[in-house]
Structure 1
Amino acid sequence: MPRTLYPILRPLFRFTYFAFLRKAEGLGNIPAQGPFIFASNHVSIPDQWLLGTLSYLQNRVPVWFVARDDYWWGPWWTKPLRNWFATLLIDWRAPAKVLKQAAAALARNEAVALYPEGTRNADPRSLALGKTGVARLALATGAPVIPVGYQGPHITSAADAIREFLFKRNTAAIAFGKPINLAGYRSTPVTRELLYEVTDRIMVEIGKLCAKRPRLHECAA
């Protein structure tokens, strides 16, 4: 979303906060400015919307979200929507490309959000095995990682959102954890084992915040 529109849409953000969120914890853990990385579990479509709203209301920090391209594939009008919602798409033919785009956003002192589970996960007890993109980005840029735990209804359509949020009042809760310190890895060669170790550290912290059990990589367990 263009930065100039954030002040104009601030009342809408506040409506979003009060209408769809029952609780937001750890807002003081959101840095006052970028660069930083949000790493969150992924339950439903509104995750991105609510996380971005809280980040802006807390410190006026816009967030770029890394998302699967199959969610945004479509006619010509999807491209302006992607820009409007500040979305960086994963091109499965060259998945490393999106990390370069995310690193460029961090170099501009902006924020980036990734879902290490890779897709929506409605399991109320367990997280999916974490993918290593967040670890790769954090180790390459030195940006701090803010773990995020999201708890709320599994929503896959606008009809779901209306039913759960407005009629059932089944609202969401978001918790932001303290920044994960990865400074100890800066001089360590980046290997598969290191990526798994860092990814698992991040997933453990996310699990604490959303009350889900993390699934760890076997070679790092």
Structure 2
Amino acid sequence: MIPADSSTGRKTSTTSLLDPRLSVWRPPDSSLRDVIKHPMPGLPPERWIGFWVRSFTCVARSRVIEVRGLEHIRAAQDPFILTPNHSQRLEAMTLPALLAFIRDGKVVHFFADWLVMLYPIIGRVVRMHGPIVVGRKSAKIAWLNRFRSRFVGALPPFEQAANLLHAGESVAIFPEGTMNRDPKRLLRGYSGAAQLSLKEQAAVVPAGIRFPRRKGEGAIGDWDPWVLEFGPAMRPPSLKGEQPEIREIRDWHAQIMQAISSLSGKQWTPENQRTRYVA
């Protein structure tokens, strides 16, 4: 089948993802052949990376209803800081693959918890998008902590992110800081993305994941289909001094979270919980 750009009504093939005028893509309308044959000229030369990107894009054909706002995350828009909400386990692996697929093979570097790297297959998949590994948490099984240094970089995570931005690469942070299955509320979130944006004067691209086919009031499930929408780039305000002040960080974080709220359909206020509403 041939996907349609709902903004124009035109029928397009996945090769038209290379067309910067395309703003909407419906993965379910793409055939397996479309995904396999889709050109990704910016992909690293390692064949297993292409296999990973195409495999998870194939998974997305049955789970992702629609992707909107493609014009905001094109490789030509680099560098930026992507800030999506986070409601399912599968997002952490599907989102990087979808971005690489849409962006002609150009990856976005996601922040990732080092504990994920302990799982052989999942860890290998996550490493394919050149993640920024965060070593803040400790493993519940104490002896596993001896492996932390194998995965965590020599530089602090936000310094790694700053270096990537300076090199013209884009990075991604889940500002909620953990998976949040509540269907109506975002977590308060952490201000790291706001602080990074202010310090480096880097644009933020908010992203919202919503679940329009959900029924009932229960927690979001791992297999609930979703719509992904990228918003316009948000330019950080100029700093008053050399370093961002606490008030500047707090205000910019609030603006970012409000943008994510609008895109995801989830409510946000500064009084929202920091930790999960739903286990």
TM-score by length of 1: 0.78
Note the C-alpha offset of 1:99.
0.5
- The answer to whether the 8 A contact 2:84-2:260 is kept is yes
Counterpart secondary structure, 2:156: helix
Question: What amino acid is aligned across from residue 43 of structure 1 in structure 2?
Answer: S
- Extract unaligned runs of 5+ from structure 2: 1-42, 138-151, 212-219, 273-279
Does the aligned pair in 2 maintain the 1:200–1:217 contact within 8 Å?
A: no
3-state SS in 2 of match to 1:178 = coil
CA distance in 2, matches of 1:82, 1:26: 24
Trace 1:41-120 onto structure 2 (pairs within 5 A). 41-60=85-104, 61-73=106-118, 80=124, 82-92=126-136, 97-120=156-179
Which residues of 2 match residues 1-221 of structure 1 at below 5 A? 3-4=44-45, 5=47, 6-7=49-50, 11-12=54-55, 14-33=57-76, 34-60=78-104, 61-73=106-118, 80=124, 82-92=126-136, 97-152=156-211, 153-155=220-222, 164=223, 170-182=224-236, 184-188=237-241, 189-216=243-270
The root-mean-square deviation of aligned C-alpha atoms, in Å, is 2.8
1:43-85 deviation line (CA, Å, top 9, x unaligned)? 112212332233223222201111223333468x887555224
Query: Which segment is superposed worse, 111-120 or 48-57?
Result: 48-57
Q: Secondary structure at the match of 1:70?
A: helix
Please, which moves more after superposition, 4-13 or 170-179? Answer: 4-13
Q: Is the 8 A contact 1:47 1:150 kept in 2?
A: no
- State how far apart, in whole Å, the 1-side matches of 2:91 and 2:122 are: 19
Q: Which has the larger radius of gyration?
A: 2
Q: State the TM-score, normalizing by the size of structure 2.
A: 0.63
**Separation of aligned partners in 2, 1:10 and 1:85:** 9
Distance in 2, Cα, partners of 1:215 & 1:122 = 17
Distance in 2 between the 1:124 and 1:80 partners?
Answer: 30
* Unpaired segments ≥5 residues, structure 1: 156-163, 165-169
- Is residue 53–residue 98 contact of structure 2 (8 Å, CA) maintained in 1? no
**C-alpha separation between the residues in 2 aligned to 1:80 and 1:50?**
14
CA distance, structure 2, for counterparts of residue 179 and residue 39 of structure 1:
11
SS at match of 2:229: strand
Higher deviation after alignment, 130-139 or 63-72: 63-72
Residues 199 and 244 of structure 2 are in contact (CA less than 8 Å); yes or no, is this contact kept in structure 1?
no
Report the counterpart of residue 24 of structure 2 in structure 1: none
- Counterpart CA distance in 2 for 1:103 and 1:69 is 19
Counterpart CA distance in 1 for 2:191 and 2:226 is 27
When the two structures are aligned, how many residues end up with a matched partner? 201
1:142 to 1:15, Cα distance in 2 relative to 1, 3 A:
same
What letter matches 2:127 in structure 1?
A: N
Of all paired residues, the percent bearing the same amino acid is: 23
* Stretch of structure 1 that moved more, 172-181 or 51-60: 51-60
More helix by share: 1
